[in-house]
Amino acid sequence: MGRIASFLLTGMLVVLAAIALLCWGPRLFGWTTFGVVSNSMAPALWACDLAFVDQTVQPEAMGIGDVAVFHLADGKVCGHRIVEVDRQARTFTTKGDAVAIQDSAPVSFDRVIGQVKGSMAFAGAPLVAYQNHKWLCVGVLSAVVALLFAVATALGPPRSAKRPSGEPGERGWRLGSVRESGCERGV
């Protein structure tokens, strides 16, 4: 049981490290990730996908058909396809692929975060769950790690192995004095 708990704990930590690498690793290259929370961009992006956003792309370089990620007036983040560009007003008109009408307000260039360059199916689910239920996720993960650690420690192999005594018929050997072994200094 201790070995199973140790295996599960190791597996859980590897999965958490992989999720962290997927979610925050792209920042090293000027990209960021977002967990998709709705199907408004289906079939391009589905709820619980992980969207990879290139923050180095300037709004001036984006055009019709690109998926822009931007801040809404209420501070939330949205990613919709650009359907119209007004370069003089420095705004985009956007629309979700799965929505019949365009978004109600134009998006000013200064609210744009970047351009979606790709996505990974279902990989955003842990990020979406964490964003919606931070304390619950931290509490559950902490409890599971603590439980697995306790079981692995309590039921795992003993910490100290029995030292061989060197008695005849037993495995191992016993150190004798230097004289007994014939390995005196200077010999």
- Cα–Cα distance, 18 to 33 (Å, whole number): 14
Residue 92 has pLDDT above 50, yes or no: yes
Tell me the residue type at 90: R
The pair of three-digit structure tokens given for residue 55, joined into one six-digit string: 């923050």
Per-residue pLDDT of 31-89, as tens digits, reads 999 999 999 999 999 999 999 999 999 999 999 999 999 999 998 999 999 999 999 99
Average pLDDT, the chain: 85
Q: Quick one: what percent of the chain has pLDDT higher than 90? A: 50
Give the pLDDT of residue 76.
Answer: 92
**Regarding predicted confidence, which is higher, 132 or 1?**
132
Give the pLDDT of residue 97.
Answer: 98
Reference 36, options 124, 112, 98; nearest CA is 124
Query: For the chain, which domains are there?
Result: 30-132 (2.10.109.10)
**Regarding predicted confidence, which is higher, 171 or 145?**
145
Q: Worst-scoring range by mean pLDDT, 53-57, 156-160, 183-187?
A: 183-187
The whole model's pTM is what? 0.69
- Cα–Cα distance, 2 to 75 (Å, whole number): 47
**For the chain, how far is it from start to end, CA to CA, in angstroms?**
53
Q: Quick one: what percent of the chain has pLDDT higher than 70? A: 83
